[in-house]
Structure 1
Amino acid sequence: MLRTPTGRSGAATTRRRRTAALAALLAGALALTGCAKDAGGRDGGSASGQGCRLAPPPAAAPATTTSSERTRQPLPDASQLRVGLAFDIGGRGDASFNDASVAGLDRAKAEMGLAEVKELDAGAGESEDAKLTRLQQLAREGYDPVIAVGYAYAGAVRTVAPQFPDTRFAIVDENVQGIPNVTPLVFAEEQGSFLVGVIAAHRSQNCHVGFVGGVETPLIGKFEAGFVQGARAAAPDIEIERDYLTPAGDYSGFQDPNKGAEIAQGQLDAGADVLYHAAGASGKGVFSAVHSAEAQAIGVDSDQYHQPTVAQFKDVIISSMLKRVDLAVFDYVAAVARNDLSTFPTKFDLSIDGVGYSTSGGMIDDLVPTADAYKAAIARGEIQVSDTP
């Protein structure tokens, strides 16, 4: 799939669709993999429309021990820790990775007695100085560790952490290296997105799905890349819409539900019937459009079926790609409380349940064996998932 011409300098939306060239390359496979009646409908019953002819999943393998079982230790006492949390735009209530960060700290309070958390919000379109000031404020007030939520803090963390060498910093979604008191919390988003791509292909009755990204950055490209690979692994002939709300540098794409609804509606009008978003709070607009169209949606980061801020759309959220920011934050606080970061994971991937998919609502229960077969193949290294579109 190639990018179609767009007005990058003037338009906020980038559309990626299959090109005629790719269609020609796939034409020879259509006899075997063309769209046909699918045996399973949305709830596992008979399909009433056209679905994709599906490729067989990888061979099942014996269940493996998860990282949580391999490395479980007695929880430390975190009652002496005061954590500073610097939100990305959207903050609490984004139904995405900000909320996932909070969930990790809430669990640390409940299970380890974490003493205190101070949260500071980010503003849309704020300057780099605002991020610097926010981190400096938390460090000066004695919060340790300080957790920066989002790759937008990378520059600020690189500047502020050396100024406070006795304060421990963590940053979500950016692999900041070379600073002793900084721990990256990074994820294999492409692997989890691969799994929901498989799910989307199995659930699509039009053999046509869509991806909506918030801001066109390498990070969000990982979600797109995995989703496309997973959908095509399950259904090589599937048609995939791909759009971004804003170009790199314009972070409003993560908090514009109206634009999310507009882009989603365009994909639905084009024929897509299962949409996956990685657009932060803009995902609410994607869910709204899908709900109105009586189509299906896949959430991101948290189990969005259970998110109160999108509860009115839960009946169309068939799954979510779980990016376990909550687990990473919880494990990081535990490591800090033990004063031992030596065994902390360098990346949260499928092999340690750092990413995955949700089954809440029971709408994909019949697909669990299939999705888990792909999951095991990825974890074993039999399937390599690229992190670039």
Structure 2
Amino acid sequence: MRLLHTADWHLGRLFHNISLLEDQRHVLNQLIEIVDREAVDAVLIAGDIYDRSVPPATAVTLLDDVLGELCQARGLPVVIISGNHDGAERLGFGARHLRQAGLHILSDLSACDTPVTLAINGVEIDIFGVPYADPEYVRSQFGEPVRDFDSAHRYLLTRIGEKRHATRPTVLMSHCFVDGGSASDSERPLTLGGAESVAWEPMHSFDYVALGHLHGPQYRGGEHIRYSGSLLKYSFSEARQRKGVTLVDIGNEGVTGIEHRPLVPKREVRVLEGELDELLRQGREDLHADDYLLVRLTDRHAILDPMGKLRAIYPNVLHLEKPGMLGTQQRQQLDRERLRFNALDMFSDFFEQTSGDAMSADQARAMSDVITSLSRDEEGQP
């Protein structure tokens, strides 16, 4: 049996106020192509299907389109757990009726010890799902005095352990932060104070663990305890990550193979660094100038409307940094003498960019006199 593990779709997400819905549709079409090309038998989605608990209607429509392709058109079983971005009750609406169509939505924590059993190609496996739940909810639901995410997660796994089949391979799906995992800027913290992680050791006995929440593909404690990562890069801290899905081959004897399959975005997320003129020159030859960009300018002089100039070449510059203008802490706290020293140079740059011509010697002398006069007035000198 071949499983496709994916997670953290975040449908409806905005990236610096730009809708990513069409970018998400682009990679989800690739996911469907991978399902066809790789002869996938079932799809596991480990939480954060939506980006917020009340998703926009367009995001709901996109999910419906994708699930229609997987469940209805191809007859594949799809198993979903809810994540911390999802509204568990809304996501789970109609779950009992949808099972007949092959869609298994596991958002009810009280049923975490009830498996979805799949029998395909002579292989029978159990899939247990642990939707996102904070310790307070576990205490309320089960009356168990758990203190933190780890003790809550251990308790839920103990309940599941009591229902595991003696010989049947078992897959665990969980939306959580495994201790030691590599996080990104786009992941919403599960709690304040740093007590959000769970240990990987209690999950080690499962044949495969399909994790969600962390956006970078990675594994913890063993190659079979794995984050597939998100569909797209949702922050500039993820610029170097290789997004994709995970294929898992599992037989009656357990997992026989784990492979990563890349997804190619409609637009990449990149960080460009350099001086403005050089970046503009490069952009005129850049075949992917419409990528989502963070630009880090290294120029040390004042620049008039750098964002406007960049967007004339790179239309999707979403964030601009100017570390060259900041320098050290001492440079940030410029004293009056340094301001006076640089004022003429700064005005010269401004004059040239607005008029298109450099100041003449007479103009420079006149402006120098004005700056000197203003400085004296400020200091109360005659």
Question: Is TM (by shorter chain) over 0.5?
Answer: no
More strand by share: 2
Which structure is larger by alpha-carbon Rg, 1 or 2?
A: 2
Query: TM-score, normalised on structure 1?
Result: 0.27
TM-score (norm 2): 0.27
